[in-house]
Amino acid sequence: MTTWRYSDQMNPYGFKDLVEGVKTPQSHPYSYDPFTIWKNRVEPENAVYSDRLLSWDRKRHDELCKRHFKNQGHNWSHRDPRKIERFLRDYFDSPTLVLCEVVQGCNVGNGYPYWAFLYTSPALEE
């Protein structure tokens, strides 16, 4: 997995400060470094890429996008993390799933953005 760049350096609308050696969406629009859009204080145990969710089950992905976001768009950068968490809970059928971090990166093979969702799924108590 890639080394993540954290939001103390960056935010989804641009960089607060230029960091030496970091490829930003502004400086490298088709090959920028991954950066955190949103993060809480919970330690993640798993991660999934947005394009994997689509390729594993496109119909489920699109239905859940319509339910949670009112569209089938594939751009996750401005979606509410609470809604992303509910989407992932439904997608994985995991009611205890906790979204820990949303990271945006760039697929250097095609220049398209991708998003990684880092999460944990505490066991249900019986």
Cα separation, 9 vs 103, whole angstroms: 13
* Residue pointed to by tokens 């768009």: 73
Name the 3-class secondary structure at 92: helix
Alpha-carbon span 91 to 23, nearest angstrom:
32
The reported pLDDT for the residue numbered 18 is 53
Separation of alpha carbons 106 and 49, rounded Å: 12
Extract the tokens encoding 17.
């400060």
pLDDT of residue 125: 59
**Statement: residue 5 has pLDDT above 60:** no
pLDDT for 101 equals 96
Q: Which residues make Cβ contacts (< 8 Å) with residue 22, sequence separation at least 6?
A: 5, 9, 10, 15, 33
The structural domains of the chain, with segments of one domain joined by +, span: 31-120
pTM beyond 0.85: no
Predicted pLDDT of residue 67: 97
Residue 29 phi, psi (nearest 5): -60, -20
CA distance linking residue 42 with residue 98, whole number of Å: 8
Q: How far apart are CA 124 and CA 126, in angstroms?
A: 6
Residue 14 pairs in a beta bridge with 11
Instruction: Using the predicted structure, report yes or no on whether residue 45 has a pLDDT greater than 90.
Output: yes
